[in-house]
Structures are given as structure tokens and as C-alpha cells.
Chain A
């Protein structure tokens, strides 16, 4: 099935009253909810009460959303220090489920939910699915992992709220994914963008593109570029949407882009976004890049106040072409902790991806960055897969290809890069979050 072009697109809005609300009305709603959530955390969570007292702030000082700047931040370290249930604001008997992420360092990050929290989560994902043009007639193939990871369950709750059919495939076994997608007639699928690309290529290789009824892909959980989106869209002839979330806040569905692909609409009635200078913590102007900080305005089980996501983005409060007034955050340029400082230059994996894809199909967008330190000097090696379209029988042509990639990367990153050509499909395809950087320096 071909993608619906912008000219033929019929915009559907699940909750126009909220999603197209005027800024003043939204600020009123946010203010009421902020007052309420601050009251709840102050009275029920020792951690927040102490933090607010240390800053000399009382619930009575918070009268409107503008007062949010008076409140303390919450960090991932705070979650770790209060692991597992130290930040709970409701009795454990009212917690209906727990999700989490396996931190790369040590303990899990835990996210408890009340029934209402689960309903809000599903509602927000359903708003996103609607943005993607899906209705209760659609069949959504979910190949995010099911389990503690929020991807699978989040899309499932969203499909349920929408009344669509969810196929809970979970991750892995690409052959089986393709078979079910074809046999059950999926009209949309949801997974990480790196797996979406891998799946798209596999479908293409198996000659199954025309057998599929897909029209939309919902992808998130890792940063990806416009080029990667175009690649998936062109292989499968679908529209791909960027869904954003983090389990601490609710999981996927905190924000998602619409057909205009002009930033991700944040469900700001539930999740209040701030974009702050990561060093000075001052509010960034619209369009200025900073760290994304969220306050969960209606969360019951574990409300978070000014949670620092470490994700870098900018915000735009203007009304979108789709009609939504929900503020939009730009596609992510990276995370403050994904960024590598190599010989004093800030490098994000997404820059490498953009540069490789800008070479117009010359190289496969599967890559791995390896940072080493040799003789006190940082060395960045980028491994790139050689595929059939570029493989030459002649060493000098392969050398020329390697030099061309190195030159492109040097221009994009402002840093000399070693390029290593590797056999196809040898760079690990992830079914969760793709690992793009290996840092061997002992910093």
C-alpha cells in the first residue's frame, strides 16, 4: 500500500479540545495541575518535601505554571538513590504495574503506574497513532519488546485506547515478523528506527514489499535522522512518525510528530516541557537548543518535578499546520550523555548517520563508532558496511570509496576519522536501542 501523500492527507485529531487549545487555556489547565501535583508530592514524598524545604519553597508559593522555575530539579541519580519505590506518591496497593529500563550502569530505572497513569499513557499514545492517520480499523504490528521496557506495552495500550487491533509480536525473529505482518495484514508497525530499517531491508530482499498493507511506521526510543526516515519510507512506501518518550515520564507517547514532520507535539496537558541551557539552567528561547526537562502534571504513582531528561532539543510554541497548538520539540540532536568529546570536538552519533546518508545511497546507514586513545591521542574509527552496490573487484576503487567516506565525515564532524570497511550485516542490528558508539578510552 502506498503512503498517503500530504495533498491527500485527512488530518484527524483525537482530542481537539486539548490538542488545539489556546495557549492561555492550556496555561490555566497546566497551572491547576501543577498546583495539584506539587501539593501531592510535598505531602506524600519525603524526597520532594525535603528538596523544596531546602530551597525555601512551599506548595503555597506555586500558583501558576510560571512558578515552575522555583521548583527543584529531579535527576536520574535521584531515581537511583530512591530505588525502587522511594518516590512513590500513592500507597503500593494502588500501583497496578511497574515498567522500567535496564540502565547501562547498574540498577534499573523503575516507573510505577496507577490505573489512571496507565489510562493517560494509552490516551497519549492513541493521540499519536491518530496523528499517524490510524483509526480503530487499523492493525498495528508491535515489534517493540514487551516486558519491563515501555515500548511494547505503550503501543499496546495506545492501540487499545484507539480501538485498533494490536499484534503483540515483541522483538526478534525477523522472518516470523515478516510472515505475520503479511498474513495478518498489518497496516502499521511500531519499533525502533534501526530495527525498522533492518526489517524494511529484509522485506525488500524477500521481495515482499508489495505483499504488505503497511501505511505507517511509528518509531522511537533512539534518536534518528530525517535521512533514515526517508530511507525507511522509500523502501516500504509508508509514512514514518517519530514517537518520543521515556519510562520515567510515562514511556512512548510523551510526544510524536504529525504528517507535517515539523517537530514532535508534546502532550503538554500531561507532561510540561521546559528546554533549559544545560549549564546555566536558564530557559531557552523558542528554537534554541537545550536540555529537555519534564514535569508530569497528572501522574499519580510517581510524579516527577522538573525531571532532567539529558535529551537535547529545541521547542516551538507556534501553531502547527495540522492545527494543533501543542508545543513541538525538534527531532533530537542527541543526548547530553551520548555526546562524545573527541579531541575537544563534540560528536553525536546522529551527525555520523546524517553524513553517511547524505552520500546518496553510496553506503549502508549501518555504522559503528569506536573511540580509542592511542599515544594520548583520541582516535575515532567509523566502521561502515560494504554492500553489493559499492563493492568493486578492485582495491583502488575500494580505497577511493573509503577515502571519500573519510572526507565526508571529516567535513561533517570537523575531525579526522578512520574509516574501516566491513562485511555486510556484520554490524549488530539492534532490536531495542541501537548501540552506535563504543568508547574504549578509560576516561
Chain B
């Protein structure tokens, strides 16, 4: 079949493209140019200028056409700007979700359809399985590389059209060996990590450069507003973290965690970890932009939820409410960071997910 492969220039998507070509499919490679590459290319982060060349080299070697798609302005608006906006609201965004949702699975996928492709493949580590009620998203065989959490916003329609051949790979060594076997120069290329568009310095300095109004130090306070210490900038904090709080753990005699980011007053609010869950304040989370990968259950569903990219499941009852929202009732209290994703699992299967809403204060 004619299939478009989203190629980042890294080993994963290169192997996907090469494998599909070897299987006899009509492969079309496409690499998104997401931002301008001035200065030295940074190998290891997704889509640097070098990566476009690498993707093209793979396409030339395997003998399929490859195109570079200009997605700069769309990426800037839909990913980078909203990343900064989110921090400016006191949230902790997940830009990779926004990118998959918009630039990749809407725009690039639309292009694939325009070109008459029957499917689009990517190098993500997730499994797409045909279930009795349509396609399902499952965790990959290689659990260390699980990317389901970042792909929860994929709609069922998109999922139907997508292919993730790496979901079945036992481990990354296997993928690299395949790249070697296929003669791809990228076989030993470093994995991408971090946020691709933060090309120098920290994400926080980028955010502060884009939204100077939130830059600068402020107070760390407790729930009653008593000043416990100072911080270097609100964008450096996430609800639930206990690092970067200076000596206030010893000062208060208790381990403290960030419970709220008050951007307006430039304050980081903390509370003792031991106080978590007194009352049900920390057991209820509301999600926005809820995406269900099952038929939304009006009565709710009891499942596992994952509140961060890397953490274990918590048990909860999740129920659709309002307009594309859902209410999560956790069995045990947790500090959910606004802007992060809450993804629902039934065993290996992804049931859906949404973005954590800030609590009304």
C-alpha cells in the first residue's frame, strides 16, 4: 500500500520507513521542519537540521521519495507559544502531546490522505491492535520505551489510519540491529530526549524569554501565606515537586511539596507532604479536552490512571462530565500538576485521557 512515514531522522522512524519499504510498500518519507536551525545543530534532540539530512539519506539509500514539510509557523503557534502560555498560567505543559495532536496527527496525516496514502506510520513505541469494536491503543512490548502517555490525544479516527511498527519490537537493541542490517547510517545515532525546540539552555529560560512578565524571583509561601523562602522564577516549578525549595524542609521540620503556582503574585505555594489527602481535596481531578478511545462510559469507568510521563498507575473512577471533560476520583490522594496529562489504562490498553485542569481557587 501507499504509506506515508513521518521521519524525524532518528533511528526509530528510519527503521520504520526502511522496514515498510522492504516489505514492498510504496513508502513516502516526510520530515517536518519545525523550527529554524540557526547555530550549531544539536544532535540528540528531535528534528535538528542534521536530522533532515539523515532522513533524506535513509530515503535515498532505500529508494523512496522524501519530502521536507514546512511546519514552522504552525509549530510555533500550536506548540511553542502554547507551551509558554501554559507556564504563564502556572501549568506544566506537555508539548509533545500538542505536537502529536496537531502538527503530526492532524496536519501531516491530512497530507497523507491528500496524497492518497492508505495509512501513515511513525516511529512511536505504542501498539495499535484491532479489537472487536475497532482499533485499540496498547502499551508497546518494550515497556521502557512506552509512549502511550504522549499519544493519549490520538482520536480513534486517527488511530485507525496510523501504524506503529515499533510497538512490537522487544527492545531498542533490536531496532538498532535492524538499522544495521538495513545498512542505515543512523543505526548508532543517539536517542532524542528532552524538548526538541529547547536548543540551548533550559526550558525555563526560553519560557521567561517568551513571557518576560513571569520572569524573576518571588516568595515561597505556605497555605496561610507565610513566607518560607525565595524562588528564582515560577516557570521552574511544577505542582508536586519538592526539589528547588531550598532549606524550607529543615526550616519547617517537614518535607514540603509545591501545591499551587500563583503566577499572578509570583508565589510558589507549598504544603507538608504529610498533609496530603486530608479531606478529599487531593482525590478529585478534573480533565479538559478529554479524548476517549472507548465509547465514553456515561456511568464512568474504574481504571488505572497515570498522571505523569514516568510513574506507576493509580486506581481511580473516571466519569465524563460537561463538555469534553472528565472527573477523576482517585482511590488515594495525589498532587496532580495542571497542564499535565492524565491517561487512563485498562491493563495494557489506553482508554483515553485528558489534560489536568487547575483547581478553582
Are A and B associated in one complex? no
